[in-house]
A and B are shown apart, each in its own frame.
Chain A
Amino acid sequence: MSSQQQLSAAPAASLSIFSLTAPVAMGYIPLGMVFGFLFVQAGANWLMALCASVVVYAGAAQYMMIPMVATGMPIGAIALATLLVNLRHIFYGLSLLDTFPRSKLLRWYTAFALTDETYSVLTTLPRDTPPQRMALLALLNQAWWVLGSLLGAIIGAQAQVPLEGLDFVLCSLFAVLAVEQWRARSSPLPLWTALISYAVATVVIPEHALVLAILLSIIVGTVSYKKEQGDE
């Protein structure tokens, strides 16, 4: 889920907090609504949707959890899948280490709220931005996500979906994110690895194909690194 293109096109120096958080709001409110709506349609109540967006606050992982909890998947398996889906977040903090708020509360909150979009907004801020402004920006972004989830949950609780296939919005979202990752690729290997891993995983353990395919991809990724090093 991303409005990164709009963000990176914006000039960084003279931006108010509002002009930075507005494009995020345009993405987070509708995407949060989709989460709240689908979560409630899958059988959860609106309070749980609100709770998920306050406590988890991770777009792809929250979408992923809907079919998982609907089928009653074990908590450990869901936690592992979350770890794998959000693994990229490990690297976000690295480029922000020096500019992050020093105050403990602000620092840990901003780290907690470091989504793809908040990361890209924070990295466009000038280096001398006061830490309170960084934390406020992170908080506003989460507020849009929570607001969207709440709206979606309320609508989802009232409505019966008359059309089949609305939940395809998640497929479209993943397609968009995959295209953006493809644009930024340094090699096509991850794409082929994913396709082949998924084909293998579907044959071996169909009911846990996704997690197994991610594990296979991590193995291939590690081996490809060793091989690169060996070749040099």
Chain B
Amino acid sequence: MNDTGYLIAVIFAMGAVTFALRALPFLSARLLRRSPVVQHLGRFLPLAIMVLLLVHSASGAAREHATGPWPELIAIAVTSLLQWYSRNPLLSIVAGTALYVLLRNWH
């Protein structure tokens, strides 16, 4: 992690990939517009990927302690319900994280 050369290489690789994705429509607009599979994946993938990132990071957090995944499940449920009803990302994120920190440190 302290290897600056590795970090710079990672950062520029990630920057290049991200820029390529964002710039692609301006290079190949007609091709993409005509590909119904690409458009279908564009609707399908965001939900799938967000769920995967959530499950992946939550199971990573659950492996760091031995009490079972309850703090993660409770905090995710509270965050999701808050977001569903309030539509206020900052409120949901701050409240969910604070609850998780409480559950992890005071039980």
Interface, chain A (partner B; CB < 8 A): 1-3, 5, 26-27, 30, 42-45, 48, 51-52, 55-58, 60-62, 64-65, 67-70, 72, 75, 78-79, 82-94, 97, 100, 107-108, 111-114, 163-183, 185-186, 189-191, 193-195, 197-198, 202, 209-210, 213-214, 217-218, 221-222, 224-225, 228
Contact = CB atoms under 8 A, between A and B. Distances in A.
Number of chain B interface residues as a range? 35 or more
Given A94-B29, A108-B23, A176-B93, A163 B56 contact: no
A91 B42 contact: yes
B6 A174 contact: no
Nearest to A2: B89
Main secondary structure of the interface of B (DSSP, over half): helix
B66 interface: no
A75 B9 contact: yes
Interface of B: 1-2, 4, 6-19, 21-26, 29, 32-33, 36-61, 64-65, 71-72, 75-76, 79-80, 83-84, 87-90, 92-93, 96-97, 100-101, 103-105
A166 B101 contact: yes
A110 B71 CA distance: 41
17 contacts: A5-B88, A44-B7, A48-B11, A56-B14, A56-B18, A61-B14, A82-B18, A86-B17, A93-B22, A108-B23, A172-B97, A175-B92, A179-B92, A194-B55, A198-B52, A221-B41, A225-B41
